[in-house]
Chains A and B, each alone.
Chain A
């Protein structure tokens, strides 16, 4: 599903030099597989996810998602691939505050190949337990409910790969457990692969397959994000 090889990304420093943040020689994730990457703050794991999502352009190397070489695509093509094949769950949910719960999910779908399917959006929101909050705005929901909306939005497009960046970082223990369980369940149900990054040992402990980010990222062993 996901193959990464010799991926590099560096950023300029105020001193005028460049610091390498990501240098992943080899990384794979099979279809439907769920993997947790352990990484401390500043280890470059968010940058790694952004590169896989096509939000950032790599300096070098190769990312292949479901047979498509992401690193060979133009920015517009990466946008399309992201809308078609990826779901992204953020630590801070990144919900659109001016839009209702249903609209947040519909917007997530509308850039994808199937377009905004209202019935499916309702179904997915029902699946995450928010069928009765469709017309609420994010500010009217609890933190846990907001994360559920984010999960629904990421999965509404039936992605092949879900990226989750510290998805429970802003939740209390109980909500974190529930959210994680929900993410894993819906990914399993839809057959999507899940790549989750976290520094929370309790979260990491839930996964059968775990990996230290610094083990795959050579740059993390030598540098910190500025």
Chain B
């Protein structure tokens, strides 16, 4: 009862500084957990998001750009491929499936991707998982002005089966660039938590022959999504397209290329982590300063406690525990900061990439970060605790005694 009472009363007596200090710790703790979670979850989500494909074939250029464009529906296409290139890879004995896609239009900022119906009906975007059309809808028919909206795009655009729309030219929305064609929504995808959710899918021919597009490119495609019969075939194709050829680029394996992206931006992640660590250190320092500065005011209380029989180590322990308690309060509030921050970041990532960050998913950081901060705060409490430990009882009580 003694120690908790001493800590509780001390925190109450210095409520303002307690709140401010705990607030700074909450911010540090929340920030640290958020940075860590976004880093680990985003990296895992991006590297595991392959759409069910092993490789992407596209125009000569950056593999990363190719993957971002074809798998994540981000970035512009590095260029076009001739239909014959598609036919060649489709017929390659090492290729199990080849799905052509064409991009270049949007619907109010949401990308229109032209493809074959098989992408939505046959391909497993993850083991055992195929895209599902919501009840009342169906997949588009090749060659028709029909569209299937991804769940996120449909929600944001307010699309439902039976709605019609005019596509807009380009990947960025500009209402002056409206195409004349009218498309009818014939289906909406159930959420798959993949980049497919934020795309409006139309037949391949739709993008290829859209009014205003170059008629000479009417059979061109943007990329080919490839499933291989065996992983080793990827290296053979890599040799064929990337090393021996100089006209096309094969991005393989998809996950590794995204991992390379994270490798390239690792410095940014390290800076963020460093900032979070620094904030944590500053927070622990603020605990030290806060308690240390209040020591003059509490010297008398400590001397009284000593006069009542409290041992030096009890006083030392009380101050350290008080620092830890401030840390614990901050860490608890840190969870709120974490969930709010992460929910915001997850919303942005979902909107921008379609990749889902699971806010409620357990991460080891959720345990060790608060514990480490409490420990750090307790450590910060050692200096004022030493001051308290050395409080001379008779001298401190003497002026008024």
Q: Which residues of A contact B (CB under 8 A)?
A: 46-47, 50, 53, 55-56, 75-76, 79-80, 82-84, 88, 90-92, 94-99, 103, 106-108, 110-112, 115-116, 153, 165
The answer on a CB contact under 8 Å between A82 and B2 is no
Question: Counting CB contacts under 8 A, is B230 at the interface?
Answer: no
Q: Which residues of B contact A (CB under 8 A)?
A: 1-2, 5-6, 9-10, 12-13, 300-301, 304-314, 393-394, 397-398, 400-401
Q: Which residues of B contact A96 (CB under 8 A)?
A: 9, 301, 304-305
The answer on a CB contact under 8 Å between A92 and B312 is no
Known: A91-B401, A94-B304, A112-B309. A55 touches B393 (CB 8 A): yes
Q: In the bound complex, how far is the Cα of B228 from the Cα of A160, in angstroms?
A: 91
Q: Which residues of B contact A47 (CB under 8 A)?
A: 394
The answer on a CB contact under 8 Å between A55 and B307 is yes
B146 to chain A, nearest CB (A): 74
**Selected contact of A56 from candidates B310, B313, B394, CB within 8 Å:** B394
The answer on a CB contact under 8 Å between B9 and A94 is no
Q: List 12 A-B contacts (CB under 8 A).
A: A47-B394, A55-B393, A82-B308, A83-B309, A94-B300, A94-B397, A95-B304, A99-B5, A107-B308, A110-B5, A111-B309, A115-B1
The answer on a CB contact under 8 Å between A92 and B401 is yes
**Selected contact of B310 from candidates A92, A103, A111, CB within 8 Å:** A111
**Selected contact of B9 from candidates A98, A110, A153, A165, CB within 8 Å:** A98
The answer on a CB contact under 8 Å between B311 and A80 is yes
The answer on a CB contact under 8 Å between B308 and A116 is no
Inter-chain pairs besides A55-B306, A91-B401, 5 sampled, C-beta below 8 Å: A53-B307, A80-B309, A90-B307, A94-B307, A153-B308
Q: In the bound complex, how far is the Cα of B6 from the Cα of A211, in angstroms?
A: 40
**Selected contact of B5 from candidates A75, A106, A165, CB within 8 Å:** A106
Q: In the bound complex, how far is the Cα of B363 from the Cα of A169, in angstroms?
A: 63
B295 to chain A, nearest CB (A): 15
**Which chain B residue has the least Cβ–Cβ distance from A82?**
B309
The answer on a CB contact under 8 Å between A99 and B307 is no
The answer on a CB contact under 8 Å between B400 and A79 is no
The answer on a CB contact under 8 Å between B400 and A92 is yes
The answer on a CB contact under 8 Å between A111 and B314 is yes
Q: Which 8 A-B pairs have the closest CB atoms?
A: A83-B309, A111-B309, A110-B2, A98-B13, A92-B400, A79-B311, A55-B393, A50-B394
Q: In the bound complex, how far is the Cα of B180 from the Cα of A148, in angstroms?
A: 94
B150 to chain A, nearest CB (A): 60
**Selected contact of B401 from candidates A90, A97, A103, A116, CB within 8 Å:** A90
**Which chain B residue has the least Cβ–Cβ distance from A118?**
B1
Q: In the bound complex, how far is the Cα of B301 from the Cα of A204, in angstroms?
A: 30
Q: In the bound complex, how far is the Cα of B401 from the Cα of A219, in angstroms?
A: 21
B335 to chain A, nearest CB (A): 29
The answer on a CB contact under 8 Å between A108 and B308 is yes
Q: Which residues of A contact B307 (CB under 8 A)?
A: 53, 55, 82, 88, 90, 94
Most buried by B among A50, A76, A83, A98: A98
Q: In the bound complex, how far is the Cα of B297 from the Cα of A97, in angstroms?
A: 12
The answer on a CB contact under 8 Å between B309 and A79 is yes
Known: A46-B398, A56-B394, A96-B301. A83 touches B308 (CB 8 A): yes
B255 to chain A, nearest CB (A): 59
The answer on a CB contact under 8 Å between B2 and A107 is yes
Q: Which residues of B contact A53 (CB under 8 A)?
A: 307
Q: Which residues of A contact B301 (CB under 8 A)?
A: 96-98
Q: In the bound complex, how far is the Cα of B300 from the Cα of A96, in angstroms?
A: 9
A146 to chain B, nearest CB (A): 13
A11 to chain B, nearest CB (A): 10
